[in-house]
Amino acid sequence: MPDLGALPGLTRAERVQQLDAWLGGLLAAAVAGTPPPRQGRGAPPPRTGTEGVALVAVGSLGRREPPPHGDLDLVLVHDGRPEVAALADAVWYPVWDAGVRLDHSVRSVAEAVAVASSDVKAGLGLLDARLVAGDAALAAALRTATLAAWRQSASRLLPQLRDLRRGRARQVGELAFLLEPDLKEAYGGLREGQVLRAVAAAQLGDEPAAEVEAAYALLLDVRDELRRRTGRPSDVLVRQEQRPVAAALGLPDEDVLLRRVSLAGRRLAFVADDTWRRVEAALVRRPRGRYRRVRREPLAEGVVRQGDEVVLARDARPAADPGLVLRGAAAAARADLVLSPYTLRVLAAHSPPVPEPWPAEVRWSFLRLLAAGRPAVAVLEQLDQEGLLTRLLPEWEQVRSLPQRHPWHRFTVDRHLVEAAAAAAELTHDVDRPDLLLVAALLHDIGKGRPGDHSVVGEPIAAGVAARMGFVPADVAVVGTLVRHHLLLPDTATRRDIDDPATIGRVAATIGGDAQVLQLLHALAQADGAATSSSAWSPWKAHLVAHLVARVQAHLGGTPAAGPDPVLHPTAPTVTETGADGAVTVGVEDVADGQQVTIGAPDERGLFSCLAGVLALNQLDVRAAKVNVVDGRATAVFAVRPRFGRAPQPAILADAVRAALEGTLPLADRLRQREADYRQDAARSAPPRISWHDSEASGEATSIVEVRAGDRAGLLYRLTAALGSAGLDVTSARIETLGADAADYFYVSNPAGGSLDPGRRARVEAALVAAARGAVLDPARGAVLDPVADTPR
């Protein structure tokens, strides 16, 4: 009998039918040709036919999907029939003689159960057991018993199965991003479909949905055609076979084939990741008790943390809140969590389109999502898999799972862009406009997949996206320039003489002499290289690019200055609270991107820090601030965003400011407790970085202190308290928070007059670093408190 799987023109169902018929004939011939053993006196009469013996297929034949040139996995099940060894030989030898590879075993039901309970690979195979010929009742008993054993042993076997798949993923890679993918063993390949069914059999996951089965069927079709074309049992879709396989499947070219394989692999991997998260949660031992309260921790307006997922709050209204998708995604990435599958489905079904241009709150949420760095990758994949990302960015569809044939590239175009944005998030400390860097990193290759130079093609596309996001025209132009010239620095550094003044002048002219664009291009080149491969961004290339940037910067002269403060104007007071030392007034005005809060109070040392602490306690994120003092009375104006969508209440703020000034509100203790309650505020980013800039502003401001640090509860309060403890007055501030990072600029004056000497600057820097890490000066106790401990240090 020839290898039926190799016969041309047979569908999988036809192969199954012919193999079953052949193997059934082999068992029948074996039973007919094997004499029963001699029986002693009083022994029961020998059994005839196939009673007490069954030929069962496992593996691909058991699943009814044998590929061409495949092997056979067979089990001869018996209930103690004495001549079973002879029957097995009579079945196995004809299979070997036909040249078919065979994996075989002979087991009783009890032996099979023991194997299924102890060997994860064997147990996984026995889940596919299907009767080919013989005793149907015995085969049914085998399947029932092994399924029960699998479920009983799930807590021990499933972690082993998970580790096996992760180990193979490290060795073989992810199917979605391989130029020559292993259709079976790569993560997201055929094995994932089988694993999902095994988890469902253990009753710890759902049966694979229709889109999962469709992705699995596509990979089966590609593998069948690959083996039919090559005439050998290979599962690796090598480059030279991609075009003929695509043609055989009716696809235009090999890139379309690879893209469809990638999309199928991404779907299987995405569902597998979510399934493993749920399995791990289900297998965790929990305290006994009839009732168990699940903690729900607010993260942002409309979303809360529940366990290890982000879900909708009870009062969320997805159909009336176009910003909820990105607000929830940003909150999930910031907390290093994922959105729950149910939440994703609800958002996909009910979220309205985002107005164009995007409202400032929506754009801010998107930037916070990108700035979260590595945690944002999983969340963006969730949005992509539910169709939410292409709804926000229709241009994304063109690059979804688009293969990149250059061997330097580890990822498809879309995943490369996401990885570049994650790498750029690590560099936001180094640029003055982190928002433009993040958007440019996400869009720098958006022109790929279209005719022409992708940099040239991508410039107007990226500019259009930036305009739709609501950036001002000047910023839109910068984003377009970054996309158009994102290869300028690495190409020049590796192909031109960077010591030649003409080269330096050409680069400076190309960027229009804009030092800020040069700074952003440098960071973008680093992010692009890191997201490509170590070969694309080696230490040697990084050194060359840095050397080129330094020369161009010197040619342009000076260093980029921080952007100007937003225009803040005092708001008329609406509430007055009278304290022991004078009146406290508070006014609140709605503005385009949140609210503006104006607080009037008697001037005193540490007032700015006190006001910042009160705003933090009221869940208000400060974006910008300035203070003015006239005749002993200070007027402070803050641009704020409510963290949970609740507009600031003037009466509550006024009462809190009065209590803080009188010492009856322990700001340090309350903020320390808030940080403990909101775990997502723990800093996860790079160490704090302090920079000094000379100020040419009028008035008393003598210096600008720039602080780049991980964002956390009450950070502005701690930083301004540190500046106050160093004897400096804060006159204005510009604050920007993106993801887990904060970039704060403080205009400070020295009441004693004159500039700060190096020794004093060093002391101020040390205090700011300590504050950024959580320490704060508590005026009431005269000590520096650590946010982790309750004791002074």
For residue range 482-530, list pLDDT tens digits in order: 999 999 999 998 888 887 888 999 999 999 999 999 999 999 999 999 9
String of DSSP letters for 339-350: E-HHHHHHHHHH
Q: What mean pLDDT do residues 562-591 have?
A: 73
Q: For 733-744, how does the pLDDT look when each residue is reduced to its tens digit (9 = 90+)?
A: 777 665 556 778
How far apart are the C-alpha atoms of 661 and 649, rounded to whole Å?
A: 18
DSSP letter assigned to residue 174: B
- 């907390």: which residue's tokens? 335
| CATH architecture for segment(s) 4-36+47-152 | 2-Layer Sandwich (3.30)
Question: Stretch 317-325: mean pLDDT, rounded?
Answer: 94
pTM of the model: 0.80
Question: Cα separations (Å) of 783 from 393, 544, 722, 761?
Answer: 51, 48, 12, 21
Task: Indicate whether 781 pLDDT > 50.
Answer: no
For 132, the enclosing helix (H) or strand (E) is strand 130-134
pLDDT band at 37 (very low <50, low <70, confident <90, very high): low
Residue 76 has pLDDT above 70, yes or no: yes
Please, what is the average pLDDT of the chain? 85
- Cα–Cα distance measured from residue 367 to residue 742, given in angstroms and rounded to the nearest whole number: 13
d(CA 710, CA 425): 12
> What one-character-per-residue DSSP string does 483-549 give?
HHTTTHHHHHHHHS-TT-HHHHHHHHHHTTT-HHHHHHHHHHHHHHHHHH-TTTS-HHHHHHHHHHH
Rounded alpha-carbon distances, angstroms, from residue 224 to 213, 248, 700: 16, 11, 77
Q: Residue 546's pLDDT is what?
A: 92
Give me the mean pLDDT over the 690-712 stretch. Answer: 70
Give dist(CA 455, CA 17) in Å, integer.
54
Q: Is the pLDDT of residue 214 over 50?
A: yes
Contact between residue 555 and residue 498 where contact means Cβ atoms under 8 Å apart = no
Spell out the alpha helix ranges (H) of 72-188.
84-97, 109-118, 120-126, 136-152, 154-172
Span 16-27, mean pLDDT? 92
Residue 104 has pLDDT above 70, yes or no: yes
Q: Name the phi and psi angles at 482, rounded to 5.
A: -65, -40
In CATH, the number for domain 156-281 is: 1.20.120.330
The pairs formed by 283-288 with CB atoms below 8 angstroms and a separation of 24 or more are 283/154, 283/155, 283/158, 283/159, 283/204
pLDDT for residue 405: 79
pLDDT confidence tier of residue 685, bands split at 50, 70 and 90 = low
Structure confidence at residue 204 as a pLDDT band (50, 70, 90): confident
Highest mean pLDDT among 21-25, 45-49, 699-703: 21-25
Section 177-189 average pLDDT: 92
Select the more confidently predicted residue: 45 or 465. Answer: 465
pLDDT higher than threshold 80 for residue 285: no
As a whole number of angstroms, the distance between CA 100 and CA 98 comes to: 6
Query: Nearest CA to 692 among 757, 753, 597?
Result: 757
Express each pLDDT in 392-437 by its tens digit: 999 999 999 999 877 677 899 999 999 999 999 999 888 889 999 9
Please state the domain extents for the chain.
4-36+47-152, 156-281, 433-560, 575-785
564 against 658, higher pLDDT: 658
